[in-house]
Amino acid sequence: MPHLRRLDGTRLWYEVFGASDGEPLLMIQGLGASSRAWIRQRRAFAKRYRCIAFDNRGAGHSDKPEGPYDLGQMAEDAIAVLDAVGVESAHVMGASMGGVIAQILAVLHPERVRTLILACTASRHHEWRRELLAEWAETARTNGMRHVAGRSLRWLVGPRMRRRLELPASILWPLIAAAPAHAFIRQVEAILNADDGLREELRALRVPTLVITGSQDILTPVGDAEELAETIPGAELVIVPGAAHAVMVDRAPAFNDAVLDFLDRHQQATAELPAVNLPLASA
């Protein structure tokens, strides 16, 4: 699978899969997670869209420099991925920290964004969430990522899903536990250092936007999604019943249906790359 090299020397891993003639969809994951966290979206989205997934710096197959990291820098990483595959503009979907990166990307480069999908994310800090993330970073520093995984899982997956199904835990646990502690800490620091002024800049966006969250999300509660949808002009809000923070895993069919309905209604029917026969990666 290909890598690209950023100006600071960091190599970013990315892949392109799905419909070779479909509109491009850039997928950005959250704190500590690799692009594998989109596993329950791959088949559904690949049928209609040319999916571009990558690992943020500090996660997955991408390099994990000592840092510091910055969310603005990570938004530029995402732009570099689009450049690497020759895509002028794309639908942009971000989850959690990836949703904040997507917001920054849309503010700085609105001409590169066809639509914006913001999943389980927020536009500003809450003091309790700052304290929680700082606690996770300290746990990673002193006890390692397995302890972080144990503490964070209840914030990601709802209690009924944890009791009834092992699938969410089997997907999320290894993703969290496998992240190197130093890289996870640098990503947390990037989140904590993000400027709350982003929310005011979002008011000027003129990009079709979907805000989607779970009704049981306790990490970025429904109020965060409502605030986002009220801030971005014309944004649509979808609340998935019974889903927690990892809504794309927790309630994958409902998440996929809502996002695909939104995307299908905002297709531009333009192609910037010649058709290439790309293999459909397995879920």
pLDDT on residue 1: 59
Task: Report the predicted TM-score, pTM, of the whole model to 2 decimal places.
Answer: 0.89
pLDDT on residue 269: 44
43-59 pLDDT tens trace:
999 999 999 999 999 99
pLDDT on residue 178: 67
CA separation, residue 84 to residues 80, 265, 267, 282 (Å) = 6, 27, 22, 23
Look at residue 175 and tell me whether its pLDDT is greater than 50.
yes
Look at residue 246 and tell me whether its pLDDT is greater than 50.
yes
The dihedral sign for the CA sequence 264, 258, 115, 95: negative
pLDDT on residue 281: 37
181-223 pLDDT tens trace:
999 999 999 999 998 778 889 999 999 999 999 999 999 999 9
CB 78 within 8 A of CB 107: no
pLDDT on residue 126: 93
129-173 pLDDT tens trace:
999 999 999 999 998 887 787 677 777 776 555 444 444 445 554
* Residue 65, preceding peptide bond in cis (omega within 30° of 0): no
- Cβ neighbours of residue 269 under 8 Å, at least 6 residues apart? 23
pLDDT on residue 67: 82
> What are 12's two structure tokens?
């970013």
Query: For tokens 């890598």, what's the residue?
Result: 3
Please state, as a whole number, how many other Cβ atoms lie within 10 Å of the Cβ of residue 129: 18
Domain locations along the chain: 3-265
The conformation of residue 75, written as its DSSP 8-state character, comes to H
63-121 pLDDT tens trace:
999 989 999 999 999 999 999 999 999 999 999 999 999 999 999 999 999 999 999 99
Average pLDDT of the chain is 88
- Cβ neighbours of residue 75 under 8 Å, at least 6 residues apart? 101, 102, 104, 105, 108, 109
The dihedral sign for the CA sequence 104, 106, 108, 113: positive
> What are 87's two structure tokens?
């895509």
**Gap between the Cα atoms of 11 and 77, Å rounded:** 10
Distance of CA 171 to the CA centre of its chain: 15
> What are 242's two structure tokens?
């019974």
CB 209 within 8 A of CB 235: yes
Average pLDDT over residues 256-279: 69
Strand stretches in the chain, DSSP E: 3-5, 11-18, 24-28, 50-54, 90-95, 113-119, 209-214, 236-240
The rounded percent of the chain whose pLDDT value lies above 70 is 86
Q: Which fold has domain 3-265?
A: Rossmann fold (3.40.50)
**Gap between the Cα atoms of 130 and 99, Å rounded:** 17
